[in-house]
Structure 1
């Protein structure tokens, strides 16, 4: 039946599917406002969606909302990498399911792809402010169950992780999405577990980057690469994300620019800006004072 409907209606059905998967619910007015259609057209779209996937949604009369059911199975295919990119840029259309224009641009290779259904459960938890119990495999403690309160999904340039309050350590931490095996809803989030209390997430620091003083023969090339002004580039970054950025760009964070090798093209001039910042074990050459 999907092949017999218009492209515009297929877009709206994909949006319903997307919202049920990642938000857990939506109402008719969401569809009407998103696509600027009439209420009657929105009703027809929901009726058609129910005809195509009757077990995917249930209607709550009091809240006047459609909710995802336990038997939910996506009507459309939501590609993991493209969906994560759209979530990161606040694009919630679900159009991957019906094809986008293909441009001659080659993306970076990805060694890992998170499970899109687990990601959807994490996203629902962040939007609806509840804790989740996850089965997680870490490098230091292996496989175990943790209860976390997520507030953001983050692309650190190498992989996706979730920023969350960890009830075991009673602190905010990063959990790699591909290391999560199972997600189940737990209790409601408490006020001190919310993003407003994540001080490293909310604190912004400025990194002063310049061409490496000893590894680079022609610093003008690096200045062009990074759009530097007067031989330096200033980058504002969340304190919680600083270590990832410095590792991804191979920034020499040693005090005297002592790291050797062609991969170290940048040097951090103001390493003091990293004080009181965690997750710096991955910052090349950094040793806390």
Structure 2
């Protein structure tokens, strides 16, 4: 039956599938608003989706919404990397197809790709503000169960992290997505001190003043062009929790007077004092508290 549908129908069904999988719920008005359809047309799309996947959703008469069921199996294949990019940019079309056009663009091969079912459960928990129980494997303590209250999924430039309150250590931490092997959404309501607003490292914005390296770059104009610097400087506002990742990714020399040598260090952090109190600075090149 799927082969008999046209592209527009498949796109609307993919949207329904995406909304259920990654938010756990769907309303007719969302379909109407997203595709500029009438209510009758949206109703037909939902009916068609239910004919193709009868166990994927159920209607709640009180909330007037369709909710994902425990028997849910995605009707479409959702690529993990593309889905994370969609979630990061609030794109919810659900459709991974890019047509027949081949673009002459290459990107680095990813070394780790998170499990799509894990991404879906985490996304649902964050949207509905629910704590989770996970099986997590760390480098220091191996595999074990943890209770977390997640609030964001983060791309640190090399891999994807979950930012969450860890009930074991009673602190906000980063958890690598690929090390999470099981997620169970808990029915509780998190305490106020577990909310994103209490994650001070996340809420604090740090201004980074980045300039061409004073010792390693012979022609600083080239670096200014590379990074679109104005008046010889690039100012980047970043969350304190993310500063270390960004500085490592771009090999920004964070020593006080630019002492790191080597062709990889083309950038220098002019205002190192702004990093005081930020986390993850052990990975910031050359930084000393």
> TM class by shorter-chain length?
over 0.9
Instruction: Tell me which residue corresponds to 2:203.
Output: 202
Where do residues 66-81 of structure 1 align in structure 2 (5 Å cutoff)?
A: 66-81=66-81
Per the alignment, in what secondary structure is the counterpart of residue 247 of structure 1?
A: helix
Moved more, 272-281 or 225-234: 225-234
Cα distance in 1 for residues equivalent to 2:75 and 2:102: 22
DSSP 3-state at the match of 1:70? coil
Residue equivalent to 1:261 = 262
TM-score by length of 1: 0.96
Two-structure CA RMSD over aligned residues (Å): 1.2
Q: Which runs of 4+ in 1 moved over 6 A?
A: none
Equivalent-residue separation in structure 1 for 2:191 and 2:9 (angstroms) = 40
Partner of 2:192: 191
1:89 is matched with 89
Tell me, in whole angstroms, the C-alpha distance in 1 between the residues paired with 2:114 and 2:132: 17
- Unpaired segments of 5 or more residues in structure 2? none
Unaligned runs of 5+ in 1: none
In the alignment, the residues of structure 2 paired with residue 12 and residue 229 of structure 1 have an alpha-carbon distance, to the nearest angstrom, of 44
Given the superposition, is the C-alpha separation of residues 99 and 75 from structure 1 closer, same or farther in structure 2, using an over 3 Å criterion?
farther
Moved more, 267-276 or 105-114: 105-114
Question: Secondary structure at 1:210's aligned position in 2?
Answer: strand
Please report how far the alpha carbon of residue 256 of structure 1 lies from its aligned counterpart in structure 2 after TM superposition.
Answer: 1.9
**1:241 aligned partner:** 242
What displacement does 1:102 show?
Answer: 4.3
Tell me the TM-score normalized by structure 2: 0.96
Deviation track 1:53-85 (CA, whole Å, cap 9, x = no partner) reads 111111112222111111111000111111111
Aligned residues: 287
* CA apart distance, 1:48: 0.6
Q: Does 1:284 align with 2:278?
A: no
The alpha-carbon deviation at position 38 of structure 1 amounts to 1.0
Q: Which residue of 1 aligns with 2:119?
A: 119
Q: For 1:99 and 1:206, how far apart are their aligned partners in 2? A: 37
